[in-house]
Amino acid sequence: MAEVNFLIKQGLTVPKGSASTPSIIFDAGDADCGLFSPANNQVAVSVQGSASAPALSFGSDSDTGVYSPGANQLAISTNGTGRLFVRANGDVDLVDNTLILNKTGLGNGQLIFDGSAFSIISNSSGAPLVFGTNSTERARIDSSGRLGLGTSTPMNILHVTAANAAGASANDGARVSAGTSLVGINFGADSTATFGWIQSSEAGVAFAPTVINPQGGNVGIGVTSPGDKLEIGGSGSGIILASPDGTRYKLTVANGGTLSIAAA
């Protein structure tokens, strides 16, 4: 024992060995399983191992550790099952294409990608789920399921906050368009003039027509069950028309069907 201690203190030198004849073995009956040095400053294990019997395990937990499932590949197993794989091309895979991140104490966040079913990004606590770019928050889903774009306090199922403008810019409000077409319809609000607006446009070109119910159906203003293409109802209802010189006139209908026009 004293001689062994002396050799260790002075530096024990053994041949480099190889994968088939490792320099350090642990059982004379298993001569091709051990440690060797494939090159300077390198130490290697001469057995690939498997998910149930990894080459490197910890304590008495022999079915949890690191192994190589094939040439130029590295894997980690737990409880006898391969969980994490680093492929020869550098790709990182997870068993069953499932990734779950759950950090207790930090919002109980979960990131789940499961190719056998569906993908989930969730937060099981009452904290919001926030998305950002360039270190800035861009979107948020609060604990009630409301989605805010451009706002951290969404007030509806979908709440979009954009520049305060009247629809003259392509960057105003929310936009819906079809395919690669430049024509679309914008929705927004102007807090200075205190109105909400709808504006169709061909982005970067000109404003475009807005069509309501092109396939049929009626439009109601102040009523919930319009009986014709356009129905305006409610107390004091009418239509205001402007003459070419800008003078405004209001068209109203009285009980009995009498129409009247007066300056507005």
User: How many whole angstroms separate alpha carbon 146 and alpha carbon 128?
Assistant: 10
* Domain assignment of residue 143, yes or no: no
Q: What is the pLDDT of residue 170?
A: 53
- DSSP characters over 142-172: -TTS-EEES-SS--SSEEE---S-SS-STTS
* Domain assignment of residue 41, yes or no: yes
* Domain assignment of residue 264, yes or no: yes
Q: What is the pLDDT of residue 169?
A: 60
Residue 204 and residue 179 in one domain: yes
Low-confidence ranges of the chain (pLDDT < 70): 1-11, 96-118, 124, 163-172
Q: What is the pLDDT of residue 155?
A: 94
* Domain assignment of residue 196, yes or no: yes
Residue 202 and residue 216 in one domain: no
* Domain assignment of residue 135, yes or no: no
Residue 222 and residue 184 in one domain: no
Task: Retrieve residue 231's tokens.
Answer: 């129905």
Residue 220 and residue 264 in one domain: yes
Q: What is the pLDDT of residue 213?
A: 95
* Domain assignment of residue 201, yes or no: yes
Helix, strand, or coil (residue 229): coil
Residue 216 and residue 260 in one domain: yes
- DSSP characters over 56-118: EEETTEEEEEEE-SSTT-EEEEETTEEEEEE-TTS-EEEGGG-B----TTTT-EEEEE-TTS-
Q: Which residue has the tokens 């926030």?
A: 130
* Domain assignment of residue 195, yes or no: yes
* Domain assignment of residue 228, yes or no: yes
Structural domain span for residue 244 = 212-264
Residue 228 and residue 184 in one domain: no
Residue 173 and residue 192 in one domain: yes
Domains: count for the chain: 3
